[in-house]
Amino acid sequence: MTTLAIDIGGTKLAAALIDNNLRISQRRELPTPASKRRMRYVKH
């Protein structure tokens, strides 16, 4: 059975296919799309 592993991070998206021998058969990385919204902080 092939397993798909996905990592959604703050700077990149990564995905890999892992085979029956627990080896990475394919791997891809893409930059995480930048948000057009600014984060807002609440003062208290």
> Is 41 a member of any domain?
no
Query: What's this model's pTM, rounded to 2 decimal places?
Result: 0.67
What residue numbers bound the domain in which 7 lies? 1-32
> Is 20 a member of any domain?
yes
Secondary structure of residue 32 in the 3-state scheme: coil
> Is 40 a member of any domain?
no
Domain count, the chain: 1
At 6, the amino acid letter reads: I
List the chain pLDDT tens, one digit each, 44 residues. Answer: 999 999 998 899 999 999 999 999 999 999 987 766 666 666 76
Question: Distance between CA 17 and CA 9 in Å, rounded?
Answer: 18
User: DSSP character for 21?
Assistant: T
> Is 18 a member of any domain?
yes
> Is 28 a member of any domain?
yes
> Is 1 a member of any domain?
yes
> Is 42 a member of any domain?
no
